[in-house]
A and B are shown apart, each in its own frame.
Chain A
Amino acid sequence: MNKIFGPLLIGLLVGLVVLSSSMYTVDQRQNALVFQLGEVVSVKKSPGLYFKLPMVQNIRYFDTRILTLDAADPERFITSEKKNVLVDSFIKWRVIDARQFYVSVAGDETRAEIRLNQTVNDGLRAEFGKRTINDVVSGRREEIMKIIRAKADQDARKIGVQVVDVRIKRVDLPETVSENVYRRMEAERKQVANELRSTGAAEAEKIKADADKQKEVIVAEAYRDAQSVKGLGDAKASALYATAYGKNAEFYAFYRSMQAYRESFKSKSDVMVLDPSADFFKYLKNPRAAGGK
């Protein structure tokens, strides 16, 4: 037992070392190329545990996740209206053919990105050149992105890469043009403001004028009606007087005159200079004066 234990342990350790150099794992996020003497022997696309010949074969891993290429500075393009735009875009890509990827760009992500960037920019330049700013910003944005993605993907396959998406992040106008846009926006707003104010004033005037007009009409009509009513009253009163006084016009004259005299001479400051021979005084001198009429 003892004799075996030692060599056993040694053998175990050696075995482990040998084993570990002939096993390797491929992660869920990777693909692996198996090289033998500098040549690609096989490609491992599924994750798991694999075996290889130790020493003779070695492995190279490639990240197969989706990567992003996002340029730091925007690119300048010219639209069909000969206007400049600054465009910031990003590319989503991933390695799908590790062997091709290795063969074409030596598995270097940076190199791959340079090439992708160029393809995409060429595509953008071409598409923007055919379209107006409005197309690019609004109507045709999606369409342009689709076209460029298709083109870029087609080219990318040559290096074992799939272009998942090309998206335009920002389309901006250059500084000087932006200034002009601001001036235009300002002017347009001022116009809107003026129009609002003037229509407001006009409507207000209309309402006020209408109010005044109605006032005039109402008052005038009321005055007219009032006069008419007063006239009715006067007429009725006149009719009543006429009917009554007309029964004996002479007596009315007498009676009314008496009333008039009574009302006219009722203040001590009224001075009457009278002749005593007036009929009123006839009994003053003679109690048996002629009978009054």
Chain B
Amino acid sequence: MAWNDPQWGNKDNRKNSGPPDLDELWKRLNERLGGLFGNKGGGDGGGGDGFSPGGLPGGGNLVGLLIAVLVLIWLASGFYIVDTGQRGVVLRFGKYVETTEPGPRWHFPWPIEAREIVNMDQVRTVEIGYRNNVKSKVLRESLMLTDDENIIDLQFAVQYILKDPKEFLFVNRAPEDTVLQVAETAMREIVGKNKMNFVLYEGRAEIADRAKVLMQRILDRYKTGISISQVTLQNIQPPEQVQAAFDDAVKAGQDRERLKNEAEAYFNDVVPRARGLASRLKAEAEGYKLSVIANAEGEASRFVQVLSEYQKAPQVTRQRIYLDTMQTVMNNTSKVLVDQKGGNSLLYLPIDKLQQIVSQPYSGAPDVLSQPPATSTPAAVDVRSRDALRNRDRGDRP
């Protein structure tokens, strides 16, 4: 329907109800716009209606307003905010112009200038050999060869941030994928240069360090604008198929230590005990020596004193001692006086009965004395020493 279609007027007339204000407004707008475009159409087509004198300035004003609004919107599209940790990169007609710092910014809107915002400080992570957690392994990525042609299972993560937004955006098509590729190649190169025992046990930290250095070097060579913040080894172990043997070897090392420790404990038990025993033996000997000497001194002194008294009055002293002794002996023993004058008749001595009179039980047979009154001295009964430890000494005494 063309703008200057008389149907518009008909439409107006049909609508008798309805807000008259809007209608009026619409009508006037139509007229003005119709006037404007009618002129254009006339200019192109070569013939058309005349224009209403009052149409253009009014129409021009509204259009001007519209254009002004559009221009404002267009200009406003150049506003943008750069958050902390981000940078804005501004291109003018495709050419790099500047890097903008955090804060509210503005650039000439498209097509003159364009912006891209890059998150510099966000820490991004790349996982190699596993996904999400160490349990879900990706064997293709995690198994690698060492210098001595052994295979180990290594899972690690690389964390990185951006350091140059210009390089990051313009030099590589997929800089973040590059991190993944470089991480793998660098780590495998470092592992490949070292022996398995080093990688598995003592050298973990060093491996991570060297890999980080190599990765950074390569990424810088490609000018990715990325800076690696950390390489973390999540897990290094022998492949599953041989893990049992490796664990056993570790256990063997522990067993060895345990055996040695046990032996040391035995040593520390036995030797001090022996020393203790040695001390005790020596102390006992010393004690024995001192007691024997003291005994001897005592006995000797006793004898010497008695001897000096004896020498003053030998006969009397001897008699006295003899009689004292005999008295004690007679007192303490059971006696039988047998008066035998020459006759060889057998005398029956009921020794057993005599013994029964005695209150103390006496085990062992007594020495029965012979009948003929040959000797006056009583038979001796062997005195056995009771103390085993002094056995030798009694026997050896003069």
Residues of A participating in the B interface, judged by any CB pair closer than 8 Å: 2, 5-7, 10, 25-30, 46-49, 63, 65-68, 70, 90, 92, 133-134, 137-139, 141-142, 164-165, 167-173, 178, 181-182, 185-186, 189-190, 192-194, 196-197, 199-201, 203-208, 210-212, 214-216, 218-219, 221-223, 225-230, 232-234, 236-238, 240-245, 247-248, 251-252, 254-255, 258-280, 292-293
Contact = CB atoms under 8 A, between A and B. Distances in A.
A189 B262 CA distance: 25
A269 B397 CA distance: 28
Given A196-B255, A197-B256, A264-B381, A182 B185 contact: no
B334 A272 contact: yes
26 contacts: A29-B169, A29-B170, A48-B92, A68-B174, A134-B149, A168-B185, A169-B185, A173-B151, A181-B151, A186-B245, A192-B252, A196-B252, A200-B259, A206-B263, A207-B264, A229-B282, A245-B303, A258-B324, A262-B328, A263-B383, A265-B329, A268-B334, A269-B355, A271-B354, A272-B334, A273-B369
A219 B274 contact: yes
B273 A207 contact: no
Interface stretch (B24-32, B98-106, B336-344): B336-344
Contact of B173 (A66, A167, A237): A66
B256 A182 contact: no
B267 A207 contact: yes
Contact of B93 (A48, A251, A255, A265): A48
B255 A138 contact: no
Contacts of B201: none
A181 B334 contact: no
B22 interface: no
Nearest to B251: A193
Contact of B307 (A186, A230, A236, A251): A251
Interface in B244-280: 245-246, 248-249, 251-253, 255-260, 262-264, 266-267, 270-271, 273-275, 277-279
Interface string B279-296: 101101110111111011
A45 to B, nearest CB: 12
Contact of B177 (A68, A228, A243, A275): A68
Contacts of A214: 270-271, 274
A232 B39 CA distance: 151
Given A201-B259, A241-B397, A261-B325, A169 B381 contact: no
Contacts of B111: 25
Nearest to B172: A66
Contacts of B40: 6, 10
Contacts of A232: 289
A139 B69 CA distance: 69
Interface string B233-251: 0000011011001101101
A30 B169 CA distance: 12
A247 B271 contact: no
Interface stretch (B72-80, B202-210, B315-323): B315-323
B149 A181 contact: yes
B396 interface: yes
A160 B347 CA distance: 152
B96 interface: yes
A127 B149 CA distance: 19
B11 interface: no
A229 B285 CA distance: 6
Contacts, number: 378
Contacts of A25: 93-95, 111
Contacts of A141: 189, 192-193
Contact of B57 (A2, A182, A266): A2
Nearest to A240: B296
A272 B326 CA distance: 12
Contacts of B322: 254, 258
Contacts of A189: 242, 245-246, 248-249
Given A226-B284, A238-B397, 7 more contacts: A46-B95, A65-B171, A68-B173, A169-B185, A178-B151, A192-B252, A203-B256
A237 B284 contact: no
Interface residues of B, number: 137
A119 B255 CA distance: 56
Contacts of B337: 274-276
Contact of A226 (B92, B273, B281): B281
Interface stretch (B118-126, B130-138, B356-364): B356-364
B50 interface: no
B304 A244 contact: yes
Contacts of B260: 200, 203-204, 207
A189 B241 CA distance: 13
A272 B335 contact: yes
B173 A65 contact: yes
